[in-house]
A and B are shown apart, each in its own frame.
Chain A
Amino acid sequence: MSFTSYNFLAFFLIFLALYWAIPSHRWKNLLLLAGSYIFYGWVASWHVAVLFLSTALDYFLAIGMARWKTRAKLFTWVGVALNLGMLLFAKYYFFFNETLANALRQTGINGDVFMMRVVLPLGLSFYILKKIGYLLDVQRGTFKPTRDFIAYAAYVSFFPQVFSGPIDRPQKLLTQLYKSRSWKVENFHNAWTLLVMGFFKKIVIANTVTVIVDQIFELEAPSQILLLVGGLGFTLQIIADFSSYTDLSRGFAWLLGLNTAENFNRPYLALTPSEFWNRWHISLSTWLRDYIFFPLRRALLKRKETLPDFLIQSLPPLATMFVSGVWHGVGWKFIVWGLYYGVLIVLYQAIGIRGDWKPVGKIKLFLAWLVMFSLIVFGWIIFRATSLEWLWSVIAVAPFYYGAYELAASLVLLLIIGFYALLLILKVLLDLYAEKFTTLRAVYYVGATLMTLIFINSSSPDFIYSQF
């Protein structure tokens, strides 16, 4: 049930009416849980059982941590290991175990497809991180273990987030579920722009640009210029697709009276790789920072005397981005993509450029942005490439362009991508420079709504990040 489907809209409207008809927040939470399980189970009902059992396990482990403090670490590691094991097994088992995959193929079961379609429940990558975060926070004492199972289960399975995040922390979302909620008109005012933009970015921009991107990346041997056009297209597609999901998720959450995490802060305006990750998929980046980067760095700093400085500086970003790559997908290209960012962060740090670096002067600023944007585009090319071999053959062997026709085709496609990019750039400009011009902003939202009406119902591909 996609956010942009009629089924979901009908489901949500009925749900919303029931939700606000119930006065007690505990009953609201129960309804939220029931609605989330229905929503999650829409694709494959048995996935709900996995979600429920793993949620119950964390809940009791967290309570166990509070009761038997001496064994808190043990409980934490059991919980983390089980959650992580579930995620890694679902994602990577067949990737590493080629023998088993081959054996299954012999019996007629295609391991990869079997895993994708049957074993790997959608959204696992997102709710597992939520659950691990909760366990670690309880163990560290930064969050008290909840005694309210319904609220906790509703937090884990919260339907606007369950498939593609944001990965909200318990401090932010679970605490809101403890409190009573009454309808306020502000909820609607916070939600409507997010909903308009969410539908617009998904239906108009992402779904249209995906056609160009898919065609280019499906070519056996595209020229370098086509690869560049495809890379630029994917750079636009992925932000439109993923940020639209976040916008819709946050919009629906606001309508339920819940304020959830922002996930994007104009990431393509970043000047350094660290800044990019502070602006892109913020809920994942902060999760990785808090539970991998900082602990690892602290552990290394404790051995400052014995370890070389470059190792202390470079290992945390490399390891964090490696995990990010593994989280994003199965295969070497995702690992390379993750490490690519790790190396970039290390290199920028090595030349003295930290995350908050900002050069003086407009030309320097523009050049810094251009370099970083080019690096981002190249990163997305690795991410979207059919395989690393395919990418290498295009970069090392293919010509810049095959002939005049291909040059013309590339320019046409670039202009089309440029047009759809302009629609998003306009929004960024409005946000930056026309905050107070309400009429101008209203005109933009009207244009977005009209375009959504024109583009609606002609396509409905899935959200990219729901595949993770």
Chain B
Amino acid sequence: MKDSFSRYLVLLAIALISASLALPRYYDMPYPNPLGAPSKFKPSVKKDVLEKLTEAQPQFVLLGDSVLHDGVDQTALSQRLGAETYNLGVSGSGSAVWYLLLKNIIINAPVKPKYVVVLFRETILTIPSFRTTGHYFEGLDDYARAKESLLVELAYIDPMSPAEKIAQQYLPLYSARWRLREAMDSTLRYTAASLWKCSTRCVDDALDSSFGKQELDAIAMQQAIYDGQTLYAPENMNFEKNINDSFLPAMMHIARSNNIELIFIRMKNMAYPQQEMETPELRAYLRDLEAYLATQEGVHYINLAHDERILDSYFIDQVHLSETGRVMFTQILADELKFFISPSK
């Protein structure tokens, strides 16, 4: 065993040194790799959203993830509310993307909306790193500028443990892990299939047709599982500790400077459809969040997490709404937002 361990160490050292020499060249990475985002951000942000906002001039812009994107009918919402709305839900997004959308797009619209509605669940608002790595990076990059110092600090550097920081800088095998995994995954998926002349397209179509919308992407699915756990991780339940390291203060500052009011809506989900089922830790976190938002100027909070109008049968999984759920939730949301355009307001 002793002999085996020394051989292991020698071989491991050789492998790591070889990888450290080859990978930076292969992937054009600097060495040591500076701490920060997994890749460089593209210099410009995606233009189409700003164009649509410029054209629509909505009074309400809604921010959220796929729950909002797939769960709210923008046209029906505008009609029932009697005001122009814009659904800016981005599937697979978190507070980092919502911060970028507010900072780089919404406030740059020639006519700024009066209200920005943020549809969230559980602890998303105070986990800045939520959905920022792996395949989520691409979506985030769409709305980032070349230099995003707060984003890099909060989403990428702060959450790293000391060991991770060292590995990220000095171990190219670790810093290039997403690319290596993606390469390995696609090799396995496509190369093997090419043996019986099934092309890349053929494999994608085959998986799509077998699994419907849910693409069988190992990395994406693993992240989805990870996300579910992250929201309820004990370290993310401490509101007081996490609030200053989140995008919330910056979002509120940006909104206030641009005369935009923020409306935070906590959405129902099937993990804790009833308040009694929530853990004491989650309840305490949400109490602190509500108290914090109540002290902020131009900020409103609506809790729909246990709203009886949103039936359990409206959900197709833990968080997403069915077609009926979409119709009903759009109406409920419109009724909630009516308060803000009522003359008494």
Give the B-binding residues of A (Cβ under 8 A): 6-7, 9-10, 42-44, 107-110, 113-114, 117-118, 185-186, 188-190, 192-193, 207-208, 210-212, 214-215, 219, 226, 402-403, 405-406, 408-413, 415-416, 419, 438-439, 441-443, 445-446, 449-450, 453-462
Contacts and interface: CB of A to CB of B under 8 A. Distances in A.
Interface string B205-219: 111011100101111
A405 B234 contact: no
B149 interface: no
Nearest to A192: B5
B221 A214 contact: yes
A459 B275 contact: no
B222 A459 contact: yes
Contact of A208 (B192, B207, B218): B218
A408 B202 contact: yes
Most A CB contacts (10 A, CB to CB) among B163, B221, B279 go to B221
Interface in B145-163: 161, 163
Contacts of B234: 42-43
Interface string B247-281: 00000000000000000000000000111110100
Given A438-B3, A438-B7, A212 B210 contact: no
Contact of B210 (A42, A405, A419): A405
B173 interface: yes
B231 interface: no
B26 interface: no
B56 to A, nearest CB: 37
Nearest to B225: A461
Nearest to B214: A215
B181 A458 contact: yes
A440 to B, nearest CB: 10
B47 interface: no
B6 to A, nearest CB: 9
Contacts of B211: 215, 219, 409
B180 interface: yes
The A contact surface, by secondary structure, is helix
B8 A445 contact: yes
A454 B221 contact: no
Contacts of B274: 108-110
Contacts of A117: 277, 279
B222 A208 contact: yes
Q: Which 5 A-B pairs rank lowest in CB-CB distance, beginning with the nearest?
A: A459-B222, A189-B1, A442-B7, A408-B206, A211-B221
Interface string B12-33: 1001100100000000000000
A443 B206 contact: no
B177 A455 contact: yes
A382 B12 CA distance: 41
Contacts of B198: 408, 412
Residue from the set A185, A419, A454 with the largest chain B CB neighbour count within 10 Å: A454
A459 B193 contact: no
A230 to B, nearest CB: 11
Given A439-B11, A458-B178, 5 more contacts: A42-B234, A108-B275, A215-B211, A438-B3, A459-B225
Chain B contact-residue range equals: 35 or more
B344 interface: no
Nearest to B230: A460
B226 interface: yes
B124 to A, nearest CB: 18
A405 B275 contact: no
A426 B147 CA distance: 47
A412 B8 contact: no
B174 interface: yes
7 contacts: A108-B275, A188-B5, A215-B216, A438-B4, A439-B7, A460-B229, A461-B226
A446 B11 contact: yes
Given A411-B193, A456-B177, A442 B4 contact: yes
Contact of B206 (A219, A412, A459): A412
Contacts of B8: 192, 442, 445-446
B222 A207 contact: yes
A453 B181 CA distance: 10
B207 A409 contact: yes
Contacts of A208: 218, 222
Given A411-B193, A453-B174, A461-B222, A443 B11 contact: yes
Given A211-B221, A458-B178, A446 B277 contact: no
Nearest to A226: B210
Nearest to A401: B210
Given A405-B210, A416-B189, A457-B177, A450 B15 contact: yes
Nearest to B228: A461
Contacts of A453: 167, 171, 173-174, 177
A304 to B, nearest CB: 50
A190 B16 CA distance: 24
Interface string B119-148: 000000000000001100000000000000
Contacts of A114: 276-277
B2 interface: yes
B223 interface: yes
Contacts of B214: 215
B342 to A, nearest CB: 31
A419 B198 CA distance: 18
A442 B188 contact: no
A189 B2 contact: yes
A458 B223 contact: yes
B4 A459 contact: no
A12 to B, nearest CB: 13
